[in-house]
Structure 1
Amino acid sequence: MGDTNLKFNEPWILQRADPYVVKSDDGWYYFTASIPTYDRIALRRSKTLYGLKDAEEVTIWTKHKTGPMGDHIWAPELHFVMGKWYIYFGAGEAENKWALRPYILECQGSDPMKDEWVEKGIPKAAKDDEFSFKAFSLDATVFENKGRWYYVWAEKVGVGRQISNLYIAEMENPYTLKTVQVLLTTPDYDWERVGFWVDEGPGVIKRNGKIFLTFSSSETGIAYCVGMLTADENSDLLDPRSWDKSRYPVLKSDEEKGIYGPGHNSFTVDEDGNDIMVYHARTESVIVGDPLYNPNRHAFLMPIKWDNDGNPVFSFDNEIGR
């Protein structure tokens, strides 16, 4: 049986935004997230999912004092790719914290908690790609399908306040892209355009012959919400037409539940194999100061239900076994 202490849709790990959980092949659960000081990357490990709540947090990397990777250390994700552990994260420069770019760390051993991490820098774009990582870009995730690895990230384009789009490319190796970027989604709808025009924070789950890619939209306050793209696992994932975008957000603030600004999620399974969404949200509707620097975005857990068509149902009422 799984962990009977699991509690859903309430604060789980406090003041940890952009939460990412991965269950390794040997059964360990790992957790990482944005830390409110935005100055380091830390990991937790537990034999149970809920045990991550009280697990020791180990800092495995700290921001640089000058230059790139010197500020705004954001949204780290831990992935086992092509035989090694990697961390994908976003970072600004010490002298310009808004010069955000994606970066990669490579673990030199099999234990991500204890072994050395080496900086691999900004991912290398494909030879013919003149655009990727030239502007504000972050929130990378990676996933495998049919033996191919894909890299998905957010990057801003345009003038003025700019627009954050999501792009995809196939990977040559864990830190090099094989193909030119392809636009997956741009903020088309009103729920993606509150405060800022933003699509970011991609997360991937594969079930029932489909690939579901969630993403987060709008400013980071109570308007923050989750949208979704769906593709057939046998389709060409580098063809934008393969992806169907849900017309409305699949998860948004619920005043009755007291959950505000749900977003930037990842997916894992509990000890019994039930699908779990790990997301951050707030418990207050009025935010003190700039939402980005208010630390009260907490990690939550939500069981995922599946409808008759094999699509995920995200609800704050979800419980395992119901």
Structure 2
Amino acid sequence: MKNFLFLLLLALYACKSADTSSTTPPPPVTAADTVGKFRNPLLTVGPDPWVTYKDGFYYVMHTTGNNLRIYKTRTMSRLAAAPSFVVWTPPATGPNSRDIWAPELHFINGKWYIYYAADNNGADATHRMFVLENESADPTQGTWTDKGQLNVADNKWAIDGTVLQNNGQLYFAWSGWENEQGGLQNLYISKLTNPWTAEGPRIRLSTPDYAWEKQGFGVNEGPEFLVHNDKVFIIYSASFCGTDQYALGQLTATTSANLLDPASWTKSANPVFGPYGLNGTYGPGHQSFFTTPDGKENWMVYHANPGAGQGCGDQRSVRMQPFTWKADGSPDFGQPVPLTQFIKRPSGE
């Protein structure tokens, strides 16, 4: 009898296992799913991505930590196949020798400039912004000249610098500490008299006010300017990148306003992108933007982690997706596209 019961139970278990294994699998990917499309990520490693377009090429940079590297490609969706060029390696010692973060490449008044954050031999409290200049038409060629530290007022901790040219005036925005002891990271702005020289006081435009900006600790960082019609936006990252609550916030002003006046800017009360913790997208942030050469499409490039709890390291990969505009003229970024989903390639590719 025991043997009979054992055989009966074994048969029932086998039937159950067979039933489980017969679950219908997801449909296979077909050629029709992939024609003219791509899937994220563009690069499996690429924190703090930056992209700009000139003369038929996209130029892309991201944090490597130990040098400045530029990718050159005609097709953003095929970035992984693009050649890359190390255009600058830091000195062995000194104020810009370590922790090279969030580089940005800008074409200003006929020359190329790279803005990057660096510190003195790994001492985070010494992080400041630095500038390189290149007169070559192609930023992957020619000579990069060190223009030194961008000496913003108060000379305090500074990272994630970016530039806007509006109504003939250059502006520099960045993330900084209020003092030398760390704590809250705020967003500041200053005039530039030329691409490597700041003028006047640093002016605080934003500090972490809302709970969604204070996860881990209070952070406003990675500011990027985005101009549309008569409005200028600063899209920034909020909360500590070591949490999955990293998300994008938004400041809004008009292009005719005094951009150095904090009263000219309005902060959105809620995140405009993220936080998100599904489909291989955790902690999306530190974005940049481009418009396709035909002017028809707007795209956002950003980083995110593929899994939960992966923090601020090299798990952050480069993704991109299109965005549109709301009726009030502000950007509509939607939600992060799942890694499993195919996206139509940018116009012109």
Q: Same fold (TM over 0.5)?
A: yes
Conserved? CA contact 2:157–2:180, under 8 Å: no
Within 5 Å, give how 1:149-188 maps onto structure 2. Answer: 149-158=170-179, 161-188=182-209
Conserved? CA contact 1:34–1:75, under 8 Å: yes
Is 1:85 equivalent to 2:106 in the alignment? no
Aligned partner (choices 166, 169, 194) of residue 215 of structure 2: 194
Conserved? CA contact 2:156–2:180, under 8 Å: no
Number of residue equivalences: 305
Within 5 Å, give how 1:237-276 maps onto structure 2. Answer: 237-273=259-295, 274-276=297-299
Indicate the SS of the match to 2:260: coil
Conserved? CA contact 1:30–1:52, under 8 Å: no
Indicate the SS of the match to 2:78: helix
In 2, the alpha carbon distance for the partners of 1:192 and 1:159 equals: 21
Instruction: Report the equivalent of 1:18.
Output: 48
Conserved? CA contact 1:82–1:173, under 8 Å: no
Instruction: Report the equivalent of 1:103.
Output: 130
Instruction: Report the equivalent of 1:225.
Output: 247
Instruction: Report the equivalent of 1:284.
Output: 307
Instruction: Report the equivalent of 1:29.
Output: 58
Indicate the SS of the match to 2:97: strand
Conserved? CA contact 2:110–2:135, under 8 Å: no
Instruction: Report the equivalent of 1:41.
Output: 68
The offset of 1:159, in angstroms, is: 6.8
Partner amino acid for 1:30? Y
The offset of 1:270, in angstroms, is: 2.5
Conserved? CA contact 1:141–1:152, under 8 Å: yes
Alpha-carbon deviations, 1:140-185, whole Å to 9, x = none? 0001111111110111124754211111112100001133221110
The offset of 1:282, in angstroms, is: 0.8
Q: Which runs of 5+ in 1 are unaligned?
A: none
Instruction: Report the equivalent of 2:320.
Output: 301
Instruction: Report the equivalent of 1:7.
Output: 38
Partner amino acid for 1:190? A
Conserved? CA contact 1:67–1:95, under 8 Å: no
In 1, the alpha carbon distance for the partners of 2:281 and 2:45 equals: 14
Conserved? CA contact 2:117–2:128, under 8 Å: yes
Partner amino acid for 2:61? T
**Relative to structure 1, is the Cα distance of residues 58 and 315 closer, same or farther in structure 2, using a 3 angstrom cutoff?**
same
Indicate the SS of the match to 1:191: helix
Aligned partner (choices 165, 168, 192) of residue 144 of structure 1: 165
Higher helix share: 2
The offset of 1:257, in angstroms, is: 3.1
In 1, the alpha carbon distance for the partners of 2:73 and 2:135 equals: 21
What's the % identity of the aligned pairs? Answer: 36
Indicate the SS of the match to 2:161: strand
Partner amino acid for 2:137? S
The offset of 1:194, in angstroms, is: 1.2
In 2, the alpha carbon distance for the partners of 1:169 and 1:245 equals: 19
Alpha-carbon deviations, 1:191-225, whole Å to 9, x = none? 11111211110111111210111001111131211
RMSD: 2.0
Is 1:209 equivalent to 2:236 in the alignment? no
In 2, the alpha carbon distance for the partners of 1:170 and 1:257 equals: 41
Partner amino acid for 2:220? D
Partner amino acid for 1:7? F
In 1, the alpha carbon distance for the partners of 2:251 and 2:122 equals: 36
Indicate the SS of the match to 1:197: coil
**Relative to structure 1, is the Cα distance of residues 95 and 218 closer, same or farther in structure 2, using a 3 angstrom cutoff?**
closer
In 2, the alpha carbon distance for the partners of 1:13 and 1:261 equals: 16
Partner amino acid for 1:228? Q
Partner amino acid for 2:248? V
In 2, the alpha carbon distance for the partners of 1:265 and 1:119 equals: 26
Conserved? CA contact 2:217–2:239, under 8 Å: yes
The offset of 1:297, in angstroms, is: 0.3
Q: Which runs of 5+ in 2 are unaligned?
A: 1-34, 338-342
Conserved? CA contact 2:60–2:70, under 8 Å: yes
Partner amino acid for 1:70? S
In 1, the alpha carbon distance for the partners of 2:212 and 2:179 equals: 20
In 1, the alpha carbon distance for the partners of 2:182 and 2:127 equals: 15
Partner amino acid for 1:283? P
Indicate the SS of the match to 2:193: strand
In 1, the alpha carbon distance for the partners of 2:221 and 2:308 equals: 22
